[in-house]
Amino acid sequence: MKGFIFTQAQKQGPARKMMAAKPPAPKPKPAPKPAPTPKPAPTPKPAPKPAPKPTPKPAPKPAPKPAPKPAPKPAPKPGLTPKPAPKPAPRPSPRQPLPWPTFNITIDPLGWYNLLTAPGLIRNADGRGQLPDGSLISEDEQSVTRPDGIVQYADGRIGYPDGRIEWPDGTVEYLDGRIVWADGTELRADGSTVYPDGVIIDADGVQIN
């Protein structure tokens, strides 16, 4: 029993130690919660636009009336043959076509002779003569062909490479058969004549304009 008897000091020793011990740290206070962020006010939705009114369609135009048909010609009576319209009488011809131009021999015979006997003339084997400028004299000595293709005849005519023939009095004969006189009168290939004032006479002597 002696070993189990504790003194008062021994009994209070643990208690003193317990009292001398520091109290535990206080429980930390919870951190303050952040203030809630205020939600933005909802944006008001725009009021819906009213639906556009449909454009009224224009009233349809009335269909055009067809043009009235001309009245049919009355049928000829049986036994009667309709007469054709009479042909208008031709107007009298104020002029008559001019005659074909006659040969004009009013040329210079001496000048033609001098041309055929010009100095430097060379006679070819075919009978034609050649002048110093290259002109050729026909065998019958009735025409001279120049180097540019123009032909001069003994009767005064001048022939051009395009077929025209010009007479000494100013008359021009064309390859297609037309003849134009110096005053402008024209005889066409079909026989009609056109005068300078515009009057046209056909081959039968009838005015057609």
pLDDT in tens, 170-202: 899 999 989 998 888 899 988 889 898 888 988
Is 86 part of any domain? no
Number of residues that this document lists for the chain: 209
% of the chain with per-residue pLDDT over 90: 9
Residues 152 and 181 in one domain: no
Neighbouring CB atoms inside 10 A of 125's CB total 5
Say yes or no: 118 and 159 in one domain.
Answer: yes
Task: Give the confidence band of 8 by pLDDT, cuts at 50, 70, 90.
Answer: low
89 vs 52, higher pLDDT: 52
Domain around 181: 171-209
Q: Using one digit for the tens of pLDDT, what is the confidence trace for 78-132?
A: 544 444 444 444 444 444 444 444 444 446 677 777 777 878 888 888 888 888 8
Judge whether 176 lies within some domain. Answer: yes
Specify whether 153 is located in the same domain as 164: yes
